[in-house]
Structure formats: structure tokens, C-alpha cells
Amino acid sequence: MNLITSTIRKKFLLYCLFICVTVCAVTQVNTISAGALTTKTEINLKCEVNTDNVTLRWNAITHEKGVKGYYVYRSTKSGGHTILPETDFWISGTSYVDTKATPGTTYYYIVKPVLSDGHTGKASNEVKVYYQGTKFSITLKAKINTGNITIEWKSSSKNTDILGYYVYRSTRSGGQTNLSETDFWITGDSYKDSKVVPGTTYYYIVKPVLKDKTLGSPSNEVSVKCQRIYGIISMTLGEKKMLVNGKWLEIDPGKNTVPVLKNARTMLPIRALIESMGGTVDYVSGEQKITVKWNGKTVCVWIGKTTYTVDGIKKTMDVAPYYSDTGRTMIPMRFIIENLGCDIEWDGGTCTATVSYLLDDDNFYPPTPPEDSIQTWSGIWFTNRGKLNLTQNGIYVEGTYGSGNTIE
């Protein structure tokens, strides 16, 4: 009995010892496995935005598997990083300079450690960065001409820093796309946009093309409305009437003054033309000075002098203004018109000068000539189809012909 009990007791003790050893072994294995997958320190990522790059810096970490280096990941949306790092090699240090950033873009960066077994560890914090790029100050201005819009700009950067410029246009503020107005960069500092639709407001920006052929920061945005209507005034040498937007008007009522040719220049009494355009003409007798104002511009000329000014800037013309036999001041037409920002064309066949100018509904809209009176008349004609009887009442014409046939 005692022998059996002693044997059972020994077997029981051996069984308990086996259980204890097994549990301890399992516990030890699980503890080591968990420790091998745990990063002992976190990666704290920081970014610095420079004029021509984004610099990333982070702290070094330790890991039970060992750390070979680090991978940098970049995305244009938060959490959008792929498995492809920015480099095809791990970075042995704790910094990285991103020179491939596109100006005007927001980026999201993270860093992951490369462990000794080739796997990547836990990612760092995500850092959001807006990369403006090389900062050039570009001042953009726009002005409207007859049938086109001209934009001009000035850059604070050196010419050696920029290859050229791209112009971008939209019909709403901030709506410019990545498609420029030209398929080449502009090497100058202005652009004339002739692809405009009257009555439309356009919004422009300019971006510089840098030496590495990337785009720099955009200029300020300017808006300008293409005028809806263009005025046309025609004058013919020796004719006392001018055609103003389809209406015949006397150039100098009661004086019979006509445009003349002098030294290959068309001379005319300027007042009738300018006032028909909606401008003003002032004469100072003591100085023999004529001041012409239209659409924000001022041109001053003097009798007998070839010197004149445009908005205070002195210029020279080849024919001096003079007094006509009728006592009118005769001024060279082309010099005045072109310096007011208008266009003038000469038809040598008919000896006619045609002026094209912008009509501005708000400030400089010319007075509307009186409407022609409504015409009313009637008449009878005899044709090979019988009697033709016509009557006009305003713009309507009706009548009969032959055996009661009606004309409408």
C-alpha cells in the first residue's frame, strides 16, 4: 500500500514538473517574439521648407532586429503613401533633401525604418508641407486695346534665374488650368491676347519658367473685361462730312472745314472727331496749346511745334499743328489717334482714314446721333407684268401688281 502510494506520488510530482517547464518555455518564447516586433523609440519627423527644396529631419531609433537605414515616403494627400519610397536605397543618415517638389503643391511625408531583416518598421508621424518654390515677385497688369487685351509684368528676380514665362487665362477668378495660352514660354515681359470675346471678363496670371524648366510661383491675378462694341469713324480728304458709327455728321458745322493732306499727313480739326468718340478738347489761347482727353489718356500739342506730350511724356512728330483758312486748328490725325490707344487705317484708293476705338458704356460712350425720321411714300410703276403699286410706311413696304396680286 505504501509502495503504491509512493509511486503515484512520484509520478504526480514529475507530471507537475513537466507542466511547469512547458508553461515557462511557452511564456518565454511568446515574450521574445513580442519584443522583437516592438520599436523601442518613435521616429519624430520634422520638415523645413526652403526656396528650392524641402528638407526632412528625424531622430535615429534602435530596434532589437537592428536598423539599416530609413525610407522616405511622399504623397499629395494625407495617408496616401504607397509602398514605393522616394529613393531606391535606404538612407543611412537622419535627413533627406527633396529637390523634386513641384512649386505650389502640398505634400505629406512619413519616414519608416529599414530593419536588418529587410522589412520596414513602424512609420513616423505624418508631416504636411506646402511647397511654394522659388519665390519671385511678379507684378502683373492688364490693359484693353481695340480688339485685344495686353498684359504686362515685372519680375524682381534676375534674368538669369528665369528662362521665360507662361500666361494662364480663365473666365472666373482662380479658375486657371495647367494649360497655358501658348505652347512656348514667352521671353519678353508682355503678351497680347487677341483671342478674346467682346463682353467677356478674363482673369490672368503669369508663372515663370525656372532654369531647371520647372514653374515658379504665380503672379497676382488681374481681371479685365473685353469691350462689347467698337466705334468706327471715317473721314475722306476734301469731304466735309464724316461717317460716325453709320451716321453722316458734319465735321465742322457751318464752316465747311475738310481734312487735308500736308507733308503726307492727314490734317483735320480734331474737336469733331474727339467729341464724337466721347472725349474732350480744350484750347488755351495764350499758350496756343490744345489738350485732348479720351479714355483716361491726355495728349497735348502746340500750334507751330512738333513737340507734344502723352500723359506728360515728351514726344516728337514730323508735322506741326497749324491754323486753317477757316480759323480752325488742324492737327495730324494719326499722331493723336494712336497715342490715345486707338487704331487708324488709311485707304489710299479712296483717300479715307478710318478710326477704330473702344466704346465704354460707363464713362466714354459717345452721344447717339439722332435717328432718321420714319420714311413714308408710295408710287406706281408699269411693268411687263402689269401695274406695280408700292407703299412704304416706316420699315414696312406693301403693294399690289398685275391682277390684284399682293406684295408683302
Higher-confidence position of 356 and 98: 98
Higher-confidence position of 367 and 283: 283
Which CATH number, 3.10.620.30, 1.10.8.60, 2.60.40.10, 1.20.1740.10, labels domain 45-131? 2.60.40.10
Q: What is the pLDDT of residue 127?
A: 96
Q: What is the pLDDT of residue 257?
A: 82
Which range among 46-55, 69-78, 254-263 has the greatest average pLDDT?
A: 69-78
The C-alpha atoms of residue 247 and residue 276 are separated, in whole angstroms, by 11
pLDDT digits (tens, 9 = 90+) for 87-123: 989 899 999 999 888 877 889 999 999 999 989 999 9
Backbone φ and ψ for 249, nearest 5 degrees, come out as -130, 150
Average pLDDT over residues 302-308: 91
The C-alpha atoms of residue 112 and residue 129 are separated, in whole angstroms, by 18
Q: What is the pLDDT of residue 298?
A: 93
Q: With left for phi above 0 and alpha for psi between -120 and 50, is residue 312 left, alpha or beta?
A: left
- Annotation: CATH topology of 230-358: Copper Amine Oxidase; Chain A, domain 1 (3.30.457)
Average pLDDT over residues 187-202: 85
CATH superfamily ID and name for 138-225: Immunoglobulins (2.60.40.10)
Strands of 67-221 (E only): list them.
67-75, 95-98, 105-115, 127-131, 138-145, 148-155, 162-170, 190-193, 201-210
The C-alpha atoms of residue 11 and residue 33 are separated, in whole angstroms, by 33
For the cut 60, the answer to whether the pLDDT of residue 404 exceeds it is yes
Please indicate whether the domains covering 45-131 and 138-225 agree at the CATH topology level.
yes
Domain ranges of the chain: 45-131, 138-225, 230-358, 376-407
The DSSP 8-state label assigned to residue 102 in this structure reads P
With cut-offs at 50, 70 and 90, classify the pLDDT of residue 352.
confident
CA-nearest of 83, 153, 152, 140 to 114 is 83
Percent of the chain with pLDDT over 70: 81
For the cut 60, the answer to whether the pLDDT of residue 274 exceeds it is yes
With cut-offs at 50, 70 and 90, classify the pLDDT of residue 31.
very low
Q: What is the pTM for the complete model shown?
A: 0.37
pLDDT digits (tens, 9 = 90+) for 144-158: 876 678 999 988 766
Q: What is the pLDDT of residue 96?
A: 96
Residue 5 to residues 9, 14, 18, 41: CA-CA distances in angstroms? 6, 14, 20, 57
Q: What is the pLDDT of residue 34?
A: 34
